[in-house]
Amino acid sequence: KQEVTQIPAALSVPEGENLVLNCSFTDSAIYNLQWFRQDPGKGLTSLLLIQSSQREQTSGRLNASLDKSSGRSTLYIAASQPGDSATYLCAVFQGAQKLVFGQGTRLTINP
């Protein structure tokens, strides 16, 4: 059974720092990996999708990497801002229909 783990569970950093969020999964036979952002009381917003044949994706200040063989993905946030404060969720597609989520990392950026 696929298990997705995100470390750390919570992170608080001062504004302007670069930071890395970690995601690990136990079964490397995945289709894709997707990173989401969730603000309190809201739905999930897709940040980045990494297809299984790719090693990384970039969008603005965000960069996500994928190493299927080791079962790991990282989300790198450059020059963090208070508006980046949210919960970040990692999810893997186990087949085209089954999406397995990690528990998330709650990120706080302090002005």
Partner 1 sequence: DVKVTQSSRYLVKRTGEKVFLECVQDMDHENMFWYRQDPGLGLRLIYFSYDVKMKEKGDIPEGYSVSREKKERFSLILESASTNQTSMYLCASSLWSSNTEAFFGQGTRLTVV
Closest CB to partner 1 among residues 18, 46:
46
The site string for partner 1 over 24-63 (x = CB under 8 A, - otherwise) reads: -------xx-x-x----xxxxxx--x-xx-----------
Q: Where are the beta strands (DSSP E) in the chain?
A: 4-7, 10-14, 19-25, 32-38, 44-51, 56-59, 62-67, 72-77, 86-94, 98-101, 105-110
Q: Is cis: bond before 8, omega within 30 of 0?
A: yes
Residue 18 or 58 having the CB closest to partner 1: 58
Dihedral (Cα; 6, 12, 17, 22), 10-degree rounding: 0
Q: Is 104 in the site for partner 1 (CB under 8 A)?
A: yes
Residues 61-100 that bind partner 1 (CB under 8 A): 89, 91, 93, 96-99
Interface residues toward partner 1, by CB under 8 A: 31-32, 34, 36, 41-46, 49, 51-52, 89, 91, 93, 96-99, 101-104
